[in-house]
Amino acid sequence: MQCGRPLLLRQPFAPDAFDQVILGCVNVIADEMNPARVAALRLGMGEAMTAFTVQINCGSGMQSIDTAYRTIREGVSDLILAGGAEALSHAPLVYSRSAVGWYGRLFGARTVGARLAAFASVRPSFFKPVIGLERGLTDPITDLNMGQTAELVSHLFHITRRQADEYAAESQQRLAAAQKNGHFKGEMEPAFARDGTLYDHDDGVRPDSTADSLAKLKPAFERPWGKVTPGNSSQITDGASWVILASEDAVQKHGLTPKAVIVDSEWSALDPSIMGLGPVYCSTALLKRHNLALGDIELWELNEAFAAQVLGCIAAWEDDEFCRDALGLDGAAGRIARDRLNVDGGAVGVGHPVGASGNRIVLHLVNAMKRLGHKRGIATECIGGGQGGAMLIEAI
């Protein structure tokens, strides 16, 4: 609701002009089965609006865009609202006593259905005792939780604790700078709670983070020697994101100004215990199909599930053996320059509302490319359960 209403309000067409609504959501709450349809109705899109919800864990928000894109390409629809939403604070979970207090505060500040309300965060250390949520973030095949898969990836590519902390600190600073410079204007909408509370920024941003200060945190998942800490992981938050996809006919009919074109998309899968490497597989497949080199991509949004996992992906592309034997390339793919990757920070600061993030990184990639004058970019994410999704985008 909170991000959909401003988006629809600024369109030159009425909310019921859409053909359908697709929403990615991982943890659908019992009160609102098929949240896509709930959102469509509550957004005033009319009783005749068909809507369905898609789920592919952390890729759900991108899956909605992909499904919309393919539906429009098929000529079946012209105008689709595609989003991602997550309200883990609303998930019916077994809470620890301290988390119950936190949950109560959150719940009181929101409408029953405002799972789209953003910006309430809790650190992994907080959800440690939260049994249900932890189960949801644990892979059932390997019985490793997501943090443990990041530990494994970092180990396999020799990512150090220091590197992860440095990456995380820089991510925080990038996000803070982007917020300060207004780079999220028109992209991040404040949320208004019915008790009058204004959520006008992500409260997970900690611009004062440094690699040194992050070094003091204890590992969250594998004590005492693990590398993945609350400070170098994404935060579990509530959040939502929508994008509008239109056919050329719809663009002309409504006089729209397109921002970007989806060139192609790809999904890949690998062993669930190293799910963090998903982006490497799907992005590489995209590049191969379009005869592109790693360096041809001017801007990357690679979802920051864990700092160590992002660094693991980068290291994978630099790894001669891995690129040759696992990806079928001639040798190392190359290096992604840090100034082309997650330029405005990412989930480490902004949070990772699992159903929403895939949608948000596509949207942010488009906006960042337009701002920086770049033409070609990839948004990609790792997906719990051992998958990855990627989208090749061209700015207009």
Partner 1 sequence: MTTSHAAKTALGVLGPRNLELGPFTLGDTGQDAGAWQHWRMRTDEDGIVWLLFDRKDASTNTLSEETLAEMDAVLAKLEQDHPRGLVIRSAKRSGFIAGADIAQFRGVTETGPIEATLTRGHAVLDRLDRLPFPTVAVIHGYCLGGGLEVALACDRRIAIDDASFGFPEVLLGLHPGLDGTVRLTHRINPIQAMTMMLTGKTERARRAKSLGLVDAVTQERHVRNAVKAAVTGELKAAKPGWLVSLLNSSPARAILVPRMRRDASKKAPRKHYPAPHALIDLWMQHGGDADAMQKAEIPSFAKLLVTETAQNLVRVFFLRNTLKGLAGGRWNGGHIHVIGAGAMGGDIAAWCAWHGFTVSLADMKPEPLAGAIKRAAELYGKISHGDRRKVRDALDRLIPDLAGEGVASADLIIEAVPENLELKKKVYAGIEPKMKSGAILATNTSSIPLEQLRVGLARPERLVGVHFFNPVSRMQLVEIVSHDGVADDVLADARAFLGRIDRLPAPVKSAPGFLVNRALTPYLLEAMVMLDEGLKKETIDRAAEDFGMPMGPIELADQVGLDICLHVAEMRRGSLERPMPEPPQWLKDKVAKGELGRKTGKGLYDWKDGRAVKPSDAAVPPADTTDRLILPMLDVCVACLREGVVADEEIVDGAMIFATGFAPFRGGPLHYARARGMDDVRATLSRLATKYGPRFQPDPGWDNLK
- Catalytically active residues are 58, 352, 382
Q: What minimum distance in Å lies between the beta carbon of 376 and partner 1?
A: 30
Q: Decide if residue 254 touches partner 1 (CB under 8 A).
A: no
Subset of residues 48 to 87 that bind partner 1, contact rule: CB under 8 A: 48
Query: Interface residues for partner 1 in 95-134 (CB under 8 A)?
Result: 111-113
Query: Which of residues 187, 192, 222, 269 is near partner 1 by CB under 8 A?
Result: 192
In the set 75, 182, 198, 330, which binds partner 1 (CB under 8 A)? 198
When the beta carbons of 158 and 194 are compared against partner 1, the nearer one is 194
194 or 335: CB nearest partner 1: 194
- Binding residue for partner 1 (CB under 8 A) from 9, 97, 223, 257? 9
CB closer to partner 1, 72 vs 116: 116
Instruction: Report the nearest approach of partner 1 to the CB of residue 93 (Å).
Output: 23
Among 29, 156, 177, 193, binds partner 1 (CB under 8 A): 193
Tokens of residue 155, six digits: 């180990």
Q: How many CB atoms lie within 10 A of CB 68?
A: 26
Stretch that binds partner 1, among 26-34, 86-94, 143-151, 189-197 (CB under 8 A): 189-197
| Other Cβ atoms closer than 10 A to 113 | 17
6 sits near partner 1 (criterion: CB under 8 A): yes
Query: Binding residue for partner 1 (CB under 8 A) from 34, 125, 138, 197?
Result: 197
Q: How far is the CB of 79 from partner 1 (least distance, A)?
A: 16
Beta carbons within 10 angstroms of residue 175's beta carbon: 27
Q: How far is the CB of 38 from partner 1 (least distance, A)?
A: 11
Contact code string over 14-53 relative to partner 1, x by CB under 8 A? x---------------------------xxx--xx-----
182 binds partner 1 (CB under 8 A): no
What's the alpha-carbon Rg for the chain, to the nearest Å? 20
- The region of 90-98, 187-195, 278-286, 302-310 touching partner 1 under the rule CB under 8 A is 187-195
CB of 301 to partner 1, least distance (A): 25
Q: Within 13 Å and on the Cβ side, how many CA atoms surround 337? A: 7
Residue 197: CB minimum distance to partner 1, A: 7
The answer to whether residue 190 forms part of the interface with partner 1 (CB under 8 A) is yes
- 196/373 with CB nearer partner 1: 196
**Minimum distance from residue 10 beta carbon to partner 1 (Å):** 4
- Crossing angle of helices 161-180 and 307-318, in 10° steps, is 110
Interface segment toward partner 1; rule CB under 8 A; list 85-93, 194-202, 346-354, 375-383: 194-202
Interface pick for partner 1 out of 75, 140, 182, 196 (rule CB under 8 A): 196
Q: How far is the CB of 110 from partner 1 (least distance, A)?
A: 11
Phi-psi region of 226 (alpha: psi -120 to 50; beta: other; left: phi over 0): beta
Task: Name the residues that contact partner 1, by CB under 8 A.
Answer: 1, 5-6, 9-10, 12, 14, 42-44, 47-48, 111-113, 186, 189-190, 192-198, 200
